Amino acid sequence: MSFRWSPQTSQNASAVGLGALLLASAMKHFRTPGFYNAVVPDYLCRIDAPENPGAVDHSGRTVNGPLAIMSREEWIAVSGLLEAALGAGLLIPATRKIAADASAAMFVAFLAGHIDALRRAYGPDGTHADRRIHTVRLPLQLPLILWAWSLRK
């Protein structure tokens, strides 16, 4: 009996691939959260979190921005949980379309963090290693966005 590779088989294999990638990334969020520190913009992190000194207003007081609702660690954990949920959603045919839509949106949202990390890497405190890592990480978002988008069918 021969095996025929159909478009549906390709679609399923692709969904399993991206689902597995998201599940592996989700695990990394909890095993080595420091890997994701640089891609969480400071403006998203509460000033009471030790790693974020916060912005200073005109009177010299530190203030939280409107998006600073969680600490850096909480953002990393929440994004790990989101990636796990979307990875699992891609593995289930009944939830694949909504998981693909949400995955594409998530990767688009992550662009802000990657752009901010790249900006800081090329700033006065950036290192050569930071520049190299973030120069590679940012463009990888486009294939991930396109991959997730392709699973919407």
pLDDT > 60? residue 127: yes
- Please state, in angstroms and rounded to a whole number, the distance separating the CA atoms of residues 38 and 122: 13
Mention every residue, 6+ apart, whose C-beta is less than 8 A from residue 69.
44, 46
Q: Are 97 and 149 in contact (CB under 8 A)?
A: no
Higher local confidence (pLDDT), 24 or 42: 24
Phi, psi of 125 (to 5 degrees): -95, 0
For the segment 19-44, the average pLDDT, to the nearest whole number, is 95
Higher local confidence (pLDDT), 131 or 7: 131
- Please state, in angstroms and rounded to a whole number, the distance separating the CA atoms of residues 6 and 140: 28
pLDDT > 70? residue 52: no
Q: Give the chain's mean pLDDT.
A: 89
pTM of the shown model: 0.84
For the segment 22-50, the average pLDDT, to the nearest whole number, is 89
pLDDT at 63: 60
Phi, psi of 60 (to 5 degrees): 90, 0
DSSP secondary structure letter of residue 146: H
Mention every residue, 6+ apart, whose C-beta is less than 8 A from residue 123.
none
* CA–CA distances in Å: residue 14 to residues 19, 81, 109: 8, 21, 22
